[in-house]
Amino acid sequence: MLANRTISKRVLPELFGDHSIKPVDGYTSRLSALLESLAPEDVARPKVVLLTPGVHNSAYFEHCYLAQHLGIDLVEGADLTVRDGRVYVRTIGGLERVDVIYRRVGDQYLDPQAGNPDSLLGCAGLMGAWRAGNVALANAPGAGVADDKLVYSYVPALVRYYLGEDPILPNVPTFRLFDEKERRHVLANMRSFVVKPANESGGQGVVVGSKASAGELDRCRAAVEQDPRNFVAQPIVNLSTAPTLCDEGVEPRHLDLRPFVLSGADTYVTRGGLTRVALRRGSLVVNSCQGGGSKDTFIVDGAGGP
């Protein structure tokens, strides 16, 4: 999002001159304040670090960019050590206490004593230090449960339960395939549905009914029958398109929008976001690891806006 905006300003300076497009730059200051607010003890200047798997991770550029803009150290597992339930970072002057870790390492790899014993990406004892309340982890281990696509189907119910009001944004209808009635309906009309594995990411294993071959549909049906809890289905939503510069010239391509939301003591939504775009003609798969691209997103300041 931030790098896209930098590029847009370079390529299309006139656009920004002629329209009042809201800046996205506030994101890093908000994120920085939020991370500091998580510090477990009352310290004047909490030590915040960003934990990355390292240069071989496909998101390393983003980790580095964020650390630079947050003004915090980018650390790898080997930089950290746990002594007496407290987390320290190795510095040239010895060990220094760490209060908050913005971790971009998966749950399983955070601590070889707790998760994958072969992990070199984390730090032994980290989970113990976190449980003891001596260090804050963002996001908290287990937060990935929100990635489970089945959870999505409960969001309207969650909104009604916790806020006592109806959701403002409607959900895409989502079928829970462990429910026999819903499963039978989906399996009888597979051409009209997208079937998604509940716990995958990056568009893996997604079957778009209208485009899949008969063989793919059969395999998908068998997988659902075998483990219905692991799948959800949604009616095929025709994603919006936007003009996109492709090898063939400017053409319509499908896209979706990822806003960035910071949720701490209060909630902040960026004025812009990451628009993901499917670069293959007709494709609905926008995920970057499946060849999707991204676009800058403009929020234009209308009359009466703040």
Partner 1 sequence: MLLSRLAERTFWLGRYVERAESLARALLAFEQIRLDIPGGEAPGWRELGPLAGIGRDAADALDPGALADLMILDRENPSSLRSAVHRARENLRRARSLLPFECWHTLNPLYLRLEAAGAALPPSEVGPLLGQVMAACHELGGQVEGGMMRDEGHAFLRLGVHLERADMVPRIVTAVADALIPLEHPFAYEDVRWMGLLRSVGAYGTYRRSHHARANFGSVLRLLLREASFPRSFAHALLQVGRELATLPRNGAAAAALRACWPAHVPNTRADLAVFADAVLPRLADLGAAIVASYFPPGDDDRDPGRAHCA
Residue reference for tokens 């998604």:
196
Residue 249 token pair = 């010239």
Q: Which of 29, 37, 91, 204 binds partner 1 (CB under 8 A)?
A: 91
Q: How many angstroms separate the CA atoms of 193 and 173, rounded?
A: 11
Q: Which of 11, 92, 250, 300 binds partner 1 (CB under 8 A)?
A: 92
The least CB distance from residue 34 to partner 1, in Å, is 19
Q: Which of 19, 29, 59, 90 binds partner 1 (CB under 8 A)?
A: 90
DSSP bridge partners of 267? 263
The least CB distance from residue 53 to partner 1, in Å, is 13
The least CB distance from residue 131 to partner 1, in Å, is 19
Query: Between 71 and 291, whose beta carbon lies closer to partner 1?
Result: 71
Q: Which of 9, 86, 221, 258 binds partner 1 (CB under 8 A)?
A: 86
Instruction: Check if the beta carbon of residue 75 is closer than 8 Å to that of residue 54.
Output: no
Query: Between 79 and 182, whose beta carbon lies closer to partner 1?
Result: 79
Helix 26-37 to helix 60-70 angle (10° resolution) is: 80
Instruction: Check if the beta carbon of residue 232 is closer than 8 Å to that of residue 239.
Output: no
142 binds partner 1 (CB under 8 A): no
DSSP secondary structure code for residue 146 in this structure: G
Q: How many angstroms separate the CA atoms of 235 and 175, rounded?
A: 9
The DSSP annotation for 37-60 comes to HT-SS--SS--EEEE---TTSTTH
37 binds partner 1 (CB under 8 A): no
Instruction: Check if the beta carbon of residue 278 is closer than 8 Å to that of residue 254.
Output: yes
CB-based contacts of 148, cutoff 8 Å, min separation 6:
198, 199
Query: Between 33 and 43, whose beta carbon lies closer to partner 1?
Result: 43
298 binds partner 1 (CB under 8 A): no
Q: Which of 93, 215, 304, 306 binds partner 1 (CB under 8 A)?
A: 93
Query: Between 78 and 237, whose beta carbon lies closer to partner 1?
Result: 78
The least CB distance from residue 122 to partner 1, in Å, is 13
> Site residues (CB under 8 A) for partner 1?
43, 45, 47, 55, 64, 67-68, 73-76, 78-79, 81, 83-84, 86, 88-97
